[in-house]
Amino acid sequence: MNQDTICALATANGVGAIGIIRVSGEKSFEIVNKVFEGKNLEKTKSHTVHYGFIVDGKTRDVRPETERKEEREKKQALSEDASTPLSMTADNRQLATDTKEIIDEVMVSVFHAPKTFTTENSVEISFHGSPHIGAKILEVLIKNGARMAKAGEFTMRAFMNGRIDLSQAESIADLIAAENEASRKVALNQLKGGISQEISVLRGDLLNFTSLIELELDFAEEDVEFADRTALVALIKRIQTKLKSLIDSFQYGNAIKNGTAVAIIGKPNAGKSTLLNTLLKEERAIVSNIAGTTRDTIEEILHIKGHAFRLIDTAGLRDTEDEIEAIGVQKAREKVSQAEILVYLAAANSGDFTEDIRMIQSLVREDLELIICLTKIDEVVPTTFDVIENQFRDALDTPFDFIKISAIENRNIQELKNELSSYVENLKAQEGGVVITNQRHYEALQKSLYSVTQVEEAVSHNITTELLAYELRNALEHLGEISGEFTNDEVLGNIFSKFCIGK
């Protein structure tokens, strides 16, 4: 158990109706009692809320109980008179001028160990949300024995005291950062232990085998085999499948966490900026510009069915009439290289699509989703649509979706949105239930998969039991990194320092 009692502002720094200061540690009640005028917190029930005042310079009452009782009754009589608030009783006024200063009128929530977030005694002080008041309350708490919490220290204590594992601690950071429905759900699932459960089942299976293999090492001279090699290989195959599916889910996890990158490309006048405006029009309220240091890196965010799509580098689309000429094929390729989806626009009335086809051929790659959008369909007769589509189908080897739109008449824009959205839905369909969103987990899973595959090779090549045991230990360690069973201070410091103070 950590001896320090820590405190920090838990709400955002700024003016709000209410601000909350969190205190956690063995001496929480003792310390807050020194600055809280109201109930003795040590005598309260857990999970209760109490009204009172935070004061600076409160002195311990050392008078005999009879004298204190008399005063309490006098106070009681005065405060029963509704026109006299507690803070304005004669006695209070007297005390205020003598020894103390009232900082704020507050509500204090009390949580007794061990059923608290950190598993320690904890107090939350709700005050009138002025940053100045918050700072003053922190100051008196520190004056009375608490210390300022470091970034993420409350969550770190929850982890250190065994209430949550590391991946759950990380999911708390994700939950706080959740900007859309999908991220919220995935973070919440992880907080409930989703990924930890999957990992712990895998580890359990591996651990059993490792014990058997290590037993063999103890009996090395007798040349016995406790671990059935065929069963071990079968188990490894099962583990590999699980690990791969978790690793694959990272693509969806990434889409949830960071959004899906979309490049909109097409010849000048294909209708790119018009489409962009149409797509973003309904979204004005939630559209945000992520401005980098230069105009070049501006991205617009489009939300479809709870998923975010980052429209890559659309700055040019708004500025120049002649995008491809202005930015060049090279720049278009750079844009597409950052994208997961390419929306290629070709104007239905252009007559000749040779250049478009050549452009697409130079841009496609295996892991790029291609959507060809025939624009300005209001300008041509519908019978030409199929003819044009066939030209693209005949010339291109890559699979693609073909959508016919008119941005000006708002035709089939929804279809395009559905198509974008189904890309993310398909990623979701590929994974089982648990979604990896964290780079650190992703890397640990890849290392685990690598070491499990090494085990498989060791078995198939009849390599020594020592080496097998070593590889198995390796895999166990990497899997343990995710839940925090195997970790070191540097990794922990790195994870928790990314949290804000007060979390």
- Binding footprint of ligand GDP on the chain (CB under 6 A): 266, 268-274, 317, 321, 323, 375-376, 378-379, 406-408
245 marked as part of a ligand binding site = no
Query: Least distance to ligand GDP from the beta carbon of 188, Å?
Result: 40
Toward ligand GDP, which CB reaches closer, 408 or 459?
408
Please enumerate in sequence order all residues whose Cβ is within 8 A of that of 39, keeping only pairs 6 or more positions apart, or say none.
50, 52
Which tokens sit at 396? 């291109």
Query: Least distance to ligand GDP from the beta carbon of 408, Å?
Result: 4
DSSP 1: -
Please enumerate in sequence order all residues whose Cβ is within 8 A of that of 284, keeping only pairs 6 or more positions apart, or say none.
none
Q: How far apart are the first and last CA of the chain?
A: 19
290 marked as part of a ligand binding site = yes
Q: How far apart are CA 11 and CA 176, in angstroms?
A: 12
22 marked as part of a ligand binding site = yes
Toward ligand GDP, which CB reaches closer, 192 or 411?
411
Query: Least distance to ligand GDP from the beta carbon of 372, Å?
Result: 14
Rounded to whole angstroms, the maximal C-alpha distance in the chain is 101
Toward ligand GDP, which CB reaches closer, 195 or 407?
407
How is the beta sheet containing 48-56 ordered, strand by strand? 36-37, 48-56, 101-111, 122-128, 18-24, 6-9, 147-148
292 marked as part of a ligand binding site = yes
Query: Least distance to ligand GDP from the beta carbon of 365, Å?
Result: 23
Query: Least distance to ligand GDP from the beta carbon of 380, Å?
Result: 10
293 marked as part of a ligand binding site = yes
Is the CA virtual torsion 399, 403, 404, 407 positive or negative? negative
164, 168, 169, 174 alpha-carbon torsion, rounded to 10°: -160
Toward ligand GDP, which CB reaches closer, 269 or 384?
269
Q: Element (H or E) spanning 275, and its range?
A: helix 272-281
48 marked as part of a ligand binding site = no
429 marked as part of a ligand binding site = no
Asked if 36 and 24 touch (Cβ cutoff 8 Å), the reply is: no
Query: Least distance to ligand GDP from the beta carbon of 156, Å?
Result: 50
289 marked as part of a ligand binding site = yes
Toward ligand GDP, which CB reaches closer, 270 or 363?
270
Q: How far apart are CA 369 and CA 54, in angstroms?
A: 60
- Write down the residue that tokens 């995710």 correspond to: 482
| Cβ count within 10 A of residue 221 | 6
Toward ligand GDP, which CB reaches closer, 402 or 450?
402
503 marked as part of a ligand binding site = yes
Q: How far apart are CA 498 and CA 171, in angstroms?
A: 12
Instruction: Give, in degrees to the nearest 5, the angle at Cα 271 between 269 and 276.
Output: 135
257 marked as part of a ligand binding site = no
464 marked as part of a ligand binding site = no
Query: Least distance to ligand GDP from the beta carbon of 273, Å?
Result: 3
Q: How far apart are CA 378 and CA 406, in angstroms?
A: 6
For 406, half-sphere exposure in the C-beta direction (CA atoms, 13 angstrom radius) is 13
Toward ligand GDP, which CB reaches closer, 103 or 312?
312
Pairing, β 369-375 against β 341-347: parallel
Toward ligand GDP, which CB reaches closer, 235 or 315?
315
Q: How far apart are CA 173 and CA 160, in angstroms?
A: 16
Query: Least distance to ligand GDP from the beta carbon of 270, Å?
Result: 4
Query: Least distance to ligand GDP from the beta carbon of 366, Å?
Result: 27
Toward ligand GDP, which CB reaches closer, 25 or 271?
271
Binding-site annotation, residues: 22, 124, 163, 269-274, 288-294, 313-316, 503
Binding-site annotation, residues for (6S)-5-formyl-5,6,7,8-tetrahydrofolate: 22, 124, 163, 503
Binding-site annotation, residues for K(+): 269, 288, 290, 293
Binding-site annotation, residues for GTP: 269-274, 288-294, 313-316
Binding-site annotation, residues for Mg(2+): 273, 294
